[in-house]
Amino acid sequence: MTETTAEPDFEVIVIGAGIAGCVTAYQLARQGRSVLLIERGEAPGSKNLSGGVLYSRGIQQVFPGFLTEAPVERRITRNYISFLNTDSAVAIDYRDARLADPVNAVTVLRAKLDPWLAERCEEAGAVIMPGVRVDRVLTENGPAGMRVLGVRAGDDELRAHVVVAADGVNSFIAKEAGLRKQEPLNHLAVGVKSVVSLPRETIEARFNLTGNEGAAIAAVGDCTEGVGGGGFLYTNIDSISVGIVVRLDDLTAKKKVVTDIFDHFLAHQFIAPYLEGGELLEYGCHLVAEGGLHMIGEIAMDGMVVVGDAAGLTLNTGLTVRGMDLAVGSAVAAAEAIGDALDRKDSSGASLARYRQKLFASYVGQDMKTYAKAPSFLEIERMYKQYGELFANVLYGAFNLDTQPRQHLFKVARKSLGQSPLKVRQLVRDGIAGARAL
């Protein structure tokens, strides 16, 4: 379907001034397009407690001066992955100078980053409309089905050749347009997060950091009281972001209260020392996508595309949790496809389908395919209790020198496995599943 005869108010309207929305608007404005970026908060970032580890190579391609100009916190050179038990912890502490040059990942606070991105959009020529809630999309029915024409916000109607839904994981815009259905509970998680203020010197001493180095801790096991998910902690310049993410299906099945799990994590004997003496600055909850590749449905139709979290683009492999870099990649792909469609004066679904092609040709789609089995692997309940306890018992047998004759580690491991509810066939099956998933 080609364009209708009515002249639009803008060529493109982007809903949501997060990372995906801002990068899409910026790229299109740089093409010389007329772009409106709508944000329901009083200002971009004003309603956003989120943040995290941003794998930054993609966004550096969009903004070459990103590392020196943007409000980044620290450059991650230490990744600490831990199985937490009630009285023990088994961890991999991976530090590597190669992650600092070139910079691989940085920590960001979205309340700082999003306004910076919005400023870049304005400089490129986009119009930003903050404090506006989009009530619905404007549509019409045609021979090829429903077409999106623009948006309604209060009493105002604004029309565009293309609308971009960048309104987050619970995107009501994508749902209203029929591009997203109600997700099963195992495709969603709930995150609880706090930002805790601490002096810069204290953070660097506790995490053994210097300069702008940063650390990211990921934990599973007792930190979520056995509920599928994990805890995280990462360093900012003068604060620590700490939280948990737990699957909704497992949370419901185990009849747990997410805030109680969060409090348990904060009080855990291996986590509390990092936070001691800190001042709580922010606290909040939000939905998180957990479905991986299976959560990506239709992302383009006549007159509309969906980007970032709204398209289900979050990837948790257990080692890395990615969302922001995928949002950047999807925004770049969307802006290219929209630009091509506008050049052809054809914003039909068939024309905008090039967005999906570009997305899956990029690292975003390729990585989603590579780790397509990761979500189901991370649903294995044994990951959140028995494995951590088994690893700790094996190491206890190795390090507990009690004046008794020592045994080879293989015998220690076999004895520990015999005392564990885990069976050899489960270890083999889980090992194969992990190799295929990761």
The rounded mean pLDDT for the chain is 94
User: By C-alpha distance, which of 249, 234, 185, 250 is closest to 79?
Assistant: 234
Query: Across residues 376-391, what is the average pLDDT?
Result: 94
What is the spatial distance between Cα 179 and Cα 188, in angstroms, rounded to a whole number?
Answer: 17
What is the spatial distance between Cα 75 and Cα 73, in angstroms, rounded to a whole number?
Answer: 7
pLDDT higher than threshold 60 for residue 5: no
The pTM (predicted TM-score) of the whole model is 0.94
| Element of type H or E holding 243 | strand 239-247
Band of residue 320 on the pLDDT scale cut at 50, 70, 90: very high
Give the residue, 46 or 175, on which the prediction is more confident: 175
Residue-wise pLDDT tens digits, 156-211: 999 999 999 999 999 999 999 999 888 899 999 999 999 999 999 999 999 999 99
What is the spatial distance between Cα 154 and Cα 88, in angstroms, rounded to a whole number?
Answer: 55
User: By C-alpha distance, which of 199, 193, 201 is closest to 231?
Assistant: 193
- What Rg do the C-alpha atoms of the chain give, in angstroms? 23
How is residue 142 annotated by DSSP? E
> How many percent of the chain have pLDDT more than 70?
98
Tell me the sheet residues that pair with 322: 315
How is residue 17 annotated by DSSP? -
